[in-house]
Amino acid sequence: MTRKHLKRFIAISMMTAVSTTAFPCVGYYTHNYYLFHVYNSNEFSNRMDEITLDNWKSYLGSDEDLYYFDADKIRDFANSKGDALMVSYVNNLERYLDCASKVISDAWDYPSKEDLAQRNRIINEVRTYAEGKLTSRLRSQHALLFMRCNMLQGKHAENVTFWEQTGVKLIESVYKDMMKNIYAGALLKTNHPDEAGRLFAEMGDWSSLMTQYYKKRSYQAIRQEYQHNANSAVLPFLLQDFVNNSQEAVDEDGYGKMFVRTITKLEAQQMILLAGEVVKEGKSRVPALWMSAKAWLEYMYGNRQQALTDIDEAVKMEGTDWMKNNARVLRFYISAAQQPINDQFDNYVAGELAWLKSMNDEDGFYWRANERIVHQVLVDKYAQNNRVETSLALLNIIDPHYEYVEALDTIDVKSVESYLGYFNRTLSSPLDRYLKNLLSTHNSDLPDTHTPELELYDLIGTKYMRLCQWPEAMEWLKKVPVSFYNNAGYAAYAANRSYKVEPWIKRQWLKDSIAYSGEPQHMTSNPKMDFVKEINSMEDRLKKLKGKNHQQACYDLAVMYAQANFTGDCWYLMRNGKSWADEVRVNEADLNAKAVRLLRSAAETTDPQLKERALFALSYIYLYPGEEWFTYNWGASGGQPRRTVKPETSQYKAFAALAEFEANNKNVSSYVSRCDEYIQFCKYFKK
Partner 1 sequence: MKIFSNFAPDICTASMEKRWLVCMILLPFFLACSHQERMDDENAVYYWRTEWRLDSLERDFIEQYQIHKVYCRYFDVVTDEGATELKPIATIVFVDTVPQDLEIIPTVYITEACLHQSLTGLATKIVERVVKMNETNDVHNVKEIQIDCDYTLRSRQGYYEFLAEVREEARKHAMGLSTTIRLHQLSMPVPPVDYGVLMIYNTGDPQKYMERNPILDLRDVEPYLRYLGSYQLKLAAAYPVFSWQRVFYNMNLVHEVSADEILKVKAAVENERDELRHSILLYHLDHDNINRYDKKTFEAFYRH
CB of 72 to partner 1, least distance (A): 25
Query: Exposed/middle/buried for 431, CB within 10 Å: 0-12, 13-18, 19+?
Result: buried
The phi-psi region of residue 399 (left if phi > 0; otherwise alpha if psi is between -120 and 50; otherwise beta) is beta
Q: Give the Cα separation of 417 and 479 in Å (integer).
A: 14
- Other C-beta atoms within 10 Å of 140: how many? 20
Q: Give the Cα separation of 149 and 394 in Å (integer).
A: 55
The candidate with the shortest Cα–Cα distance to 40, out of 286, 325, 358, 354, is 325
**Cβ contact 651:624 at 8 Å:** yes
CB of 637 to partner 1, least distance (A): 7
**342-352: buried (b, 16+ CB within 10 Å) or exposed (e) per residue?**
eeebbebbbeb
CB of 149 to partner 1, least distance (A): 20
Q: In this structure, what DSSP letter does residue 374 have?
A: I
Nearer to partner 1, 72 or 109 (CB): 109
CB of 259 to partner 1, least distance (A): 9
Nearer to partner 1, 260 or 350 (CB): 260
Nearer to partner 1, 253 or 604 (CB): 253
CB of 528 to partner 1, least distance (A): 35
Nearer to partner 1, 509 or 634 (CB): 634
CB of 308 to partner 1, least distance (A): 23
Give the residues across from 642 on adjacent strands: 633
Nearer to partner 1, 211 or 262 (CB): 262
Nearer to partner 1, 433 or 643 (CB): 643
Output the CA–CA distances (angstroms, integers) from residue 362 to 40, 41, 263, in the order listed.
Answer: 9, 9, 29
Nearer to partner 1, 640 or 667 (CB): 640
Q: What is the CA radius of gyration of the chain?
A: 35
Torsion over CA of 201, 202, 203 and 204, rounded to 10 degrees? Answer: 50
Query: Exposed/middle/buried for 460, CB within 10 Å: 0-12, 13-18, 19+?
Result: buried
CB of 244 to partner 1, least distance (A): 12
Q: Give the Cα separation of 134 and 136 in Å (integer).
A: 6
CB of 564 to partner 1, least distance (A): 33
Nearer to partner 1, 246 or 335 (CB): 246
**Cβ contact 226:274 at 8 Å:** yes
Nearer to partner 1, 116 or 354 (CB): 116
- Within 8 A by CB and 6+ apart from 29, the residues are 375, 402, 403
3-state secondary structure of 14: strand
∠ at Cα 329 (328, 333), nearest 5°? 115
CB of 296 to partner 1, least distance (A): 16
**Alpha helix (H) ranges present in 359-412?**
365-373, 379-384, 388-398, 403-410
CB of 106 to partner 1, least distance (A): 5
Nearer to partner 1, 258 or 586 (CB): 258
Nearer to partner 1, 262 or 673 (CB): 262
Nearer to partner 1, 8 or 674 (CB): 8
- Within 8 A by CB and 6+ apart from 62, the residues are none
CB of 632 to partner 1, least distance (A): 11
Output the CA–CA distances (angstroms, integers) from residue 23 to 402, 476, 576, 584, 615, in the order listed.
Answer: 6, 22, 7, 16, 35
CB of 261 to partner 1, least distance (A): 9
Q: In this structure, what DSSP letter does residue 171 have?
A: P
Nearer to partner 1, 68 or 108 (CB): 108
Nearer to partner 1, 61 or 638 (CB): 638
Nearer to partner 1, 46 or 262 (CB): 262
Q: In this structure, what DSSP letter does residue 169 have?
A: G
Q: Give the residues lining the site for partner 1 (CB under 8 A).
A: 106-113, 115-116, 248-252, 254, 256-258, 260, 262, 264, 634, 636-640
Give the residues across from 644 on adjacent strands: 631
CB of 112 to partner 1, least distance (A): 6
CB of 43 to partner 1, least distance (A): 17
Q: Give the Cα separation of 101 and 121 in Å (integer).
A: 16
CB of 31 to partner 1, least distance (A): 17
**386-415: buried (b, 16+ CB within 10 Å) or exposed (e) per residue?**
ebbbbbbbbbbbbbbebbbbbbbbebebeb
With residue 103 as reference, give the H or E element that holds it: helix 84-104
Q: Give the Cα separation of 659 and 155 in Å (integer).
A: 87
